[in-house]
A and B are shown apart, each in its own frame.
Chain A
Amino acid sequence: KAGVTQTPRYLIKTRGQQVTLSCSPISGHRSVSWYQQTPGQGLQFLFEYFSETQRNKGNFPGRFSGRQFSNSRSEMNVSTLELGDSALYLCASSLEAVLSSSYNEQFFGPGTRLTVL
């Protein structure tokens, strides 16, 4: 089974631009979660999508948004980029919603490293 894939792997943008990141979950997985990883803040939860619906969202401004398609692929969009948005963005997929009562191990993708200049 192919793992979680993310595209692009590396991205360089300038302040004020917008960016769209893509995540393809493991086949059959319906939940996709997004995380931001920085040296200073560690791993921070952005949002989770399950069956095309956003289940919950972390403490990030409205510039961060996402969506999920019927094939469970998910995109994350960041508008009006700021220098502080430079980070590794990880997505993770699981069979069911992360906190459902069923088996819900999350599998992470390799990440997209975003650099904002």
Chain B
Amino acid sequence: GENVEQHPSTLSVQEGDSAVIKCTYSDSASNYFPWYKQELGKRPQLIIDIRSNVGEKKDQRIAVTLNKTAKHFSLHITETQPEDSAVYFCAASSDVRDDKIIFGKGTRLHILP
């Protein structure tokens, strides 16, 4: 079945610097890749997603890139701010085979003052 690996599990960056979180997936049929942010004690929230027909998508300080050949996708956060501190989950799914959404284990991002 589909497997999603997420790295790193913990990431600390200085405020203002960029953060990059990477995920790899195993099922070449996967074509939908959402990213969720979960702040401490709060529910996950979708922050950005990408479908396999595009290679990159941006929304202000957040961008996601997708490399279908290598089967990996990454979340990029630029000019990090204290409120970016959270756990970030990547996920992969396919609407061709089955529709199960498989999540990565999460990355705990710490923004250092």
Selected contact of B103 from candidates A45, A59, A99, CB within 8 Å: A45
Selected contact of B32 from candidates A43, A99, A107, A110, CB within 8 Å: A99
User: Chain A, 76-113, contact with B by CB distance < 8 Å: what is the 0/1 string?
Assistant: 00000000000000101000011111000111111100
Asked if A110 and B46 make an inter-chain contact with CB atoms under 8 angstroms apart, the answer reads no
Task: List the A side residues contacting B20 at CB < 8 Å.
Answer: none
Number of chain A residues close to chain B: CB under 8 A? 26
CB distance from A86 to the nearest CB of B (A): 17
Contact-size category for B: 20 to 34
Question: Is A16 interfacial (CB 8 A cutoff)?
Answer: no
Question: Is A55 interfacial (CB 8 A cutoff)?
Answer: yes
Evaluate whether A42 and B103 lie within 8 angstroms (CB atoms) in the complex, with A105-B46, A110-B43, A111-B43 already known: yes
Asked if B93 and A99 make an inter-chain contact with CB atoms under 8 angstroms apart, the answer reads yes
Q: How far is the CA of A48 from the CA of B93 in the complex (A)?
A: 13
User: Given A56-B98, A98-B99, 4 more contacts at CB 8 Å?
Assistant: A42-B105, A43-B89, A109-B43, A110-B43
Q: Sample 6 A-B pairs with CB under 8 A, ordered by A number.
A: A33-B101, A43-B89, A45-B101, A48-B99, A98-B99, A100-B95
The 10 A-B residue pairs with the shortest CB-CB distance in the complex, in nearest-first order: A99-B95, A108-B43, A43-B103, A42-B105, A56-B99, A99-B99, A45-B101, A108-B44, A42-B106, A105-B46
**Chain A contacts to B: CB under 8 angstroms:** 33, 41-45, 48, 55-59, 90, 92, 97-101, 105-111
